[in-house]
């Protein structure tokens, strides 16, 4: 299992949330919970590897949330397992028609949930492996590594080769601080003389081009730069 795979569990039963969170974390997953579809929408759902989603909740239903997620290119590829007391044939068909990867009826055994979670994550990782290798995304930033394009909130922005490679590196290793020399070594050609000031100028240009995400490129005084996700 890939380390620190992220799972979001959405259910209005607090006790069930705590039980699932504890057992999934015991299996090595990183788990976040939400008690409603509305609360889940405040999170960066695209950053999760799997969504465990209750169907019948107060307010927006799990089916309605799933429909919104599958209609959004940023979240369409997040696999969904429905957890629900509704186990009629029509409900099951509805769930799968919405793009669900599995459907587990309550009451269920925790062992069954863990087995199905592993199966879905393994299957979707295999199916998406090639595609994931060609795109890097973070919220509204989408980098197409084949076409060398960058879209910010759906709008394609022109990047120089250096700006593209800088963003690629910072996004690909989010949270890691890179010194100016490390950036020079990994982004610029070996036969080009690059000064620290050149790095700073390109970082400034990069921040301007990524708009509302500019604040994510953080300066760590005395150390360098990193992308704060």
Rounded CA separation 116/12 (Å): 21
pLDDT means over runs of 10, the chain (229 residues): 76 93 88 95 94 89 89 90 71 68 84 84 66 71 90 93 95 90 92 90 96 95 91
Q: Quick check: 77 and 99 in contact, CB under 8 A? A: no
Tokens of 228: 């704060």
Q: Could you identify the residue written with the tokens 């394609």?
A: 156
Query: Which ranges of the chain would DSSP assign to H, the alpha helix?
Result: 14-26, 37-40, 62-71, 89-97, 110-132, 161-172, 180-187, 196-209
CB atoms under 10 Å from CB of 130, counted, come to: 8
pLDDT for 132 equals 46
Answer yes or no: do 114 and 162 share one domain: no
**Residues facing 143 on adjacent strands:** 136, 150
Could you list the residue range(s) of the whole structural domain that residue 148 is in?
138-227
3-state secondary structure 36-77: CHHHHCCCCHHHCCEEEEECCCCCCCHHHHHHHHHHCCCCCC
In a domain, 1, yes or no: no
Residue 167 placed within a domain: yes
The 3-state DSSP class for residue 175 equals coil
The radius of gyration computed from the CA coordinates of the chain, to the nearest angstrom, equals 21
The predicted pLDDT at position 90 comes to 61
Considering only the C-alpha atoms of the chain, give the largest distance between any 2 of them, rounded to a whole number of Å.
68
Q: Does residue 103 sit in the same domain as residue 17?
A: yes
Query: Residue 92 maps to which CATH number?
Result: 3.40.50.2300
Together in a domain, 82 and 187: no
Shared-domain flag, residues 98 and 34: yes
Say what the pLDDT of residue 86 is: 61
Report the 10 Å Cβ neighbour count for 181.
12
The predicted structure's pLDDT at residue 1: 40
């Amino acid at each position: 299992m890939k380390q620190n795979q992220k799972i979001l569990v959405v259910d209005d039963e607090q006790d069930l949330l705590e039980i699932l969170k504890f057992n999934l974390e015991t299996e090595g997953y990183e788990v976040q919970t939400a008690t409603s579809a509305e609360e889940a929408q405040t999170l960066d759902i695209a950053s999760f590897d799997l969504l465990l989603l209750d169907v019948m909740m107060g307010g927006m239903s799990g089916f309605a949330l799933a429909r919104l997620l599958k209609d959004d290119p940023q979240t369409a590829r997040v696999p969904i397992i429905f957890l629900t007391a509704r186990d009629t044939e029509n409900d099951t068909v509805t769930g799968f028609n919405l793009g669900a990867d599995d459907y587990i009826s309550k009451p269920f055994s925790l062992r069954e949930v863990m087995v199905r979670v592993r199966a879905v994550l393994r299957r979707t990782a295999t199916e998406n492996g090639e595609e994931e290798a060609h795109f890097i995304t973070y919220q509204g930033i989408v980098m197409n590594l084949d076409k060398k394009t960058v879209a910010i909130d759906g709008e394609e922005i022109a990047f120089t080769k250096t700006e593209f490679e800088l963003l690629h590196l910072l996004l690909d290793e989010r949270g890691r601080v890179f010194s100016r020399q490390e950036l020079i070594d990994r982004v610029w050609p070996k036969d080009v003389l690059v000064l620290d000031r050149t790095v700073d100028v390109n970082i400034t240009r990069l921040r301007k081009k990524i708009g509302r995400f500019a604040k994510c490129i953080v300066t760590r005084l005395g150390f360098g730069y990193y992308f704060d996700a």
